């Protein structure tokens, strides 16, 4: 994924932590919610559940541990947890910021000090 490509995610505010699953797009997600024949793999963008350590939808993302999934959802089965997040979470679309060049121009050209 390029830095300027739009991304979509599902944010789930849990009792003990906040969870995020990335999805391909809203249309596929909505189709999955109404049509049980749509494979879950077609909905998610990468088969991973992230936690933000109670820092909301913009927090630093870490992979969710089995313990955090078990505490929140009663299971650490990633497919069951993803289903719950996709069904009860909030859809959010955003564009990632383009990568910037030199962040400290006071160091001179190429970041070398004179």
Q: Give the percent of the chain with pLDDT over 90.
A: 57
The whole-number average pLDDT for the span 43-48 is: 91
DSSP class of residue 105 equals: G
Q: How confident is the model at residue 112, as a pLDDT?
A: 53
* pLDDT value of position 109: 57
Cα–Cα distance, 79 to 69 (Å, whole number): 11
The percentage of the chain sitting over the pLDDT mark of 70, rounded to a whole number, equals: 76
Q: What is the pLDDT of residues 13-26, one digit of tens each?
A: 999 899 999 998 88
With a CB cutoff of 8 Å and minimum separation 6, the contacts of 30 are none
Q: What is the pLDDT of residue 91?
A: 93
DSSP 5-70: SEEEEEEEE-SS-EEEEEES-HHHHHHHHH-TTS-HHHHBSSS--EE-TTSGGGSPPEEPPHHHHH
Q: Which domains does the chain have, with CATH numbers?
A: 8-93 (3.30.1250.10)
State the pLDDT at residue 57.
76
């Amino acid at each position: 994924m390029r830095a300027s490509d739009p991304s979509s995610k599902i944010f789930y505010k849990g009792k003990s932590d906040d969870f995020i699953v990335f999805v391909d797009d809203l249309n596929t997600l909505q189709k999955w919610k109404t049509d049980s024949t749509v494979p879950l793999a077609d909905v998610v963008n990468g088969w991973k559940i992230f936690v933000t350590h109670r820092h909301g939808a913009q927090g630093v993302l870490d992979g969710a541990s089995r313990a955090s999934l078990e505490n929140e959802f009663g299971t650490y089965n990633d497919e069951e947890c993803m289903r719950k997040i996709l069904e009860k979470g909030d859809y959010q679309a955003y564009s990632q910021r383009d990568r910037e060049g030199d962040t400290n121009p006071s160091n001179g050209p190429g970041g070398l000090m004179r």
